[in-house]
Amino acid sequence: MPVEKVNNSSDLDTKVPSCLQLTSIGQLTLTSDPSHRCVKDIVLLANFTISKSPTFLRDKLHPCQLEMDNKDACVYVCPSAIPGPSSSEAKYVYVPLNKLKSKTLVNVYGVVTFFKQPFPSKGSDYCTTLKITDQSDVKVICTIFCKKLEDHPLIFRVGDIIRLHRFKAEAFRDSITLINTFGWSTVTFNGIIDSPIVPRTSSKSFFYGEADKRRVQELRQWAANQSLCSDLNTSLSSVQPHMYFDFTCQLLAKAVMHSGCILLKVWDGTRCQLPLLQVAVPPDELEGECTLAKDKMNLTANVLVYDNHLEVARDLKPGAFLRFYNLRALLQKVPGQLPDQPEHLGFHLHGGTVYGRGLRSLPAETPDLLSLKSVLEKHVDLDEHEEVNDGTLLEIWYTPPESIVLPNDENPGAEENAGPAYTVQTCEHNTQRITLAQVKRSTPPLSCHVRARVKKYLPQQLYQCLKLFCSKCKTMKDVPDDSAVANIFLESARDNQPCDEQWAATSSANSREPGRTISMHVSKDMVGKSSHMQLIFIEGMTLDEISVLSRDHKNLVPVRSENSKMTRMDLTAPFLFSGKKRYYGCKQCSRNTFENPVFTGVETWDEQAVAAVLGVQMMQYRFLIQFELDDVTDTIEALLWEDAERFFHISAVDASGCQDLQDRIQTIMDTIQPPESSLEERPWMDFCLSVYTVKDNDRNKVCYQITNTEIVKQ
């Protein structure tokens, strides 16, 4: 029998028999009954990696999964002698969207009704989101995660038809969603009736036959009857102010304006009815052809691209055909413009993916470009080599991007950022709100008011925002993780012998572990007092044990024995356990040892009193978060730490031992930056900013800190 070797998951379409496509390990059974046996294809998986299943808790399937992530991994398929389906039969079983069941692996066809270009996920993958439908009229959301941009589906417009292989159906909020699994593949087709049926895919090998052509034709006809393929593209001649529109065009030239903005000079051969904003750049910084002749004829659209779209824009080459999705048209003023002069129309592709916002290049052979190419050919005689001189430049508006007047520059409270903010300022500064661009141009020191959105924040794992700060030496460090602390306790407890101190009353007991003795020491002055009034020294316990004991005792001090004398544990570990709270000391500023501690004269044992007796410089819990703020005019990175407790209305030390308070902070951050949201969907926030300088390698560095600002209590 022939043996097929599959080295790449993309080859599964062509080399793995169809009878294996919908078979899962959970469906395989072993039986001794000969009547239940049948000869099937034999599959050998070689050099696969076994790892934990990330979806086990959700789908309750097997806790492990096999991953084909090794270059030597492969699948050997030995077909059985039983005749398979003929080449004229469909190779795959496709499930209608209204028949999808949760926790099943399926193949489906659908018409795209919505999609987003690939965008970076919170992990290392890019994510594509789309919504599809079929003749059942059920709409299903599909999510695709993949590291390589080129492996994502090639969707050009609403109405395209897509084929999905090996996608997992899962229940989510009373509906079924599809997500890609190992070995997944996609193929897309143009959804326009009578256009050539040409598959689009990055896979080097895929199955495609007459049955697929029939399905594409059926879906095309059905989608046309349902008006699903309506053309959302708008020509430059039809654009009106404040529109959001799709725009198919050709790239003439490009220039990097600054690290957060790229200019794309494009055209579609039609003339705009309104004056166009011309963002000119020095010729030596422009990549591509000179566009002066087209500029004077109002044929060139200058598109400013920002944020997450910059990665795509950087890779574009002049002459490429592009499609913008959800592009914004704005009327804008230029420097020195007289009141009676008309404003100029500019185009902006802001950050985020809301409403499918994005851009992509289109292959030159795409049928969608036929009409565009015919229009462009009418302008081939334009003289693009006209001499550039001062007189020529005066005929167009020379407008560098930083001088473009946006709504936020003139009136920061106008238009889209009007309305209530999610924060309030508690300072007494009587200053007018300014833009972030103005903040960057200001001279420190300065306190100012701004209104902005949070573009992103760090750390993304909020437990990492809790820090330890020494007010004496100004050291700030991360809270040690439990594994490191647990190792310190284990090392201290191993072969431990109780210490002997004259001032302490000691009780000891053997633990279940051989060689480990647990001891508790209490000052003789405290014997007989309530346990809540005692300071108890613990020796020989593990971290888990002392954590359990601290639930019922307020002040537990972990210690170890050295030459039969009591000494502190390494200050990487907490020096005090008080209920669910742990307190840490500064290694640099604390005394090395403590001898003959004095326990008299202390009415209440709190963390400050304990630290004083032990000679420990106590570290304070602090929140530290870095926000990247955006108000359209610019972005800045600002720290929140000195006033962070006021900002959240939560004490850092209380949050260190309370999961409910940590969850409350997470809820606040999810409101400031909702998961998977675009910048435009996030709330506006009023901040009081302090602008100051610090020394960094003998140079002054300008820093920004959020102060005197609080979250509005709901």
Q: 456-481: per-residue pLDDT in tens? A: 999 888 778 899 999 888 888 999 88
pLDDT exceeds cutoff 50 at 626: yes
Q: What percent of the chain has pLDDT over 90?
A: 28
Q: What percent of the chain has pLDDT over 70?
A: 80
Q: What is the SS3 assignment for 493?
A: helix
| Least confidently predicted of 14-28, 153-167, 289-303, 673-687 | 14-28
pLDDT exceeds cutoff 70 at 41: no
Non-local (6+) Cβ contacts of 35 within 8 A are none
Q: What is the mean pLDDT of the chain?
A: 80
Q: What is the mean pLDDT of residues 427-454?
A: 84
| Least confidently predicted of 68-72, 287-291, 706-710 | 68-72
pLDDT exceeds cutoff 70 at 331: yes
Q: What is the SS3 assignment for 494?
A: coil
Question: What is the predicted pLDDT for the residue at 186?
Answer: 93
Q: What is the SS3 assignment for 604?
A: coil
| Least confidently predicted of 165-179, 407-421, 513-527, 659-673 | 407-421
Band of the pLDDT at 609, cuts 50, 70, 90?
confident
| Least confidently predicted of 55-59, 117-121, 263-267, 671-675 | 55-59
Which helix (H) or strand (E) segment holds residue 476: the answer is strand 476-478
Question: What is the predicted pLDDT for the residue at 246?
Answer: 92
| Least confidently predicted of 26-35, 104-113, 438-447, 641-650 | 26-35
One-letter amino acid for residue 410 of the chain: E
Strand partners, 466: 623
- Structure-model confidence comparison of residues 80 and 94, the more confident one: 94
Q: What is the mean pLDDT of residues 1-26?
A: 48
pTM exceeding the 0.75 threshold for the entire prediction: no
Band of the pLDDT at 145, cuts 50, 70, 90?
very high
Q: What is the DSSP string of 79-145?
A: --SS----TTS-SS----GGG--TTEEEEEEEEEEEE---EE-SSSSEEEEEEEE-TT--EEEEEEE
Question: What is the predicted pLDDT for the residue at 84?
Answer: 44
Band of the pLDDT at 335, cuts 50, 70, 90?
low
Instruction: State the Cα angle at 142 between 140 and 146, rounded to 5°.
Output: 175
Question: What is the predicted pLDDT for the residue at 170?
Answer: 92
Phi, psi of 436, rounded to the nearest 5 degrees: -65, -30
Question: What is the predicted pLDDT for the residue at 59?
Answer: 60
pLDDT exceeds cutoff 60 at 97: yes
Question: What is the predicted pLDDT for the residue at 502?
Answer: 76
Q: What is the mean pLDDT of residues 657-670?
A: 88
Burial zone of 443 (CB within 10 Å; 0-12 exposed, 13-18 middle, 19+ buried): exposed
| Least confidently predicted of 36-50, 69-83, 389-403 | 389-403
- Structure-model confidence comparison of residues 307 and 624, the more confident one: 624
Q: Which of 352-356, 410-414, 597-601, 668-672 has the highest mean pLDDT?
A: 668-672
For the stretch 584-602, pLDDT in tens is 999 889 887 666 676 666 6
Which residues in 551-602 belong to E strands, given as ranges?
556-562, 565-568, 576-578, 581-583
pLDDT exceeds cutoff 90 at 714: no
Band of the pLDDT at 66, cuts 50, 70, 90?
confident
pLDDT exceeds cutoff 70 at 529: no
- Structure-model confidence comparison of residues 242 and 494, the more confident one: 242
For the stretch 108-127, pLDDT in tens is 999 999 999 898 887 788 89
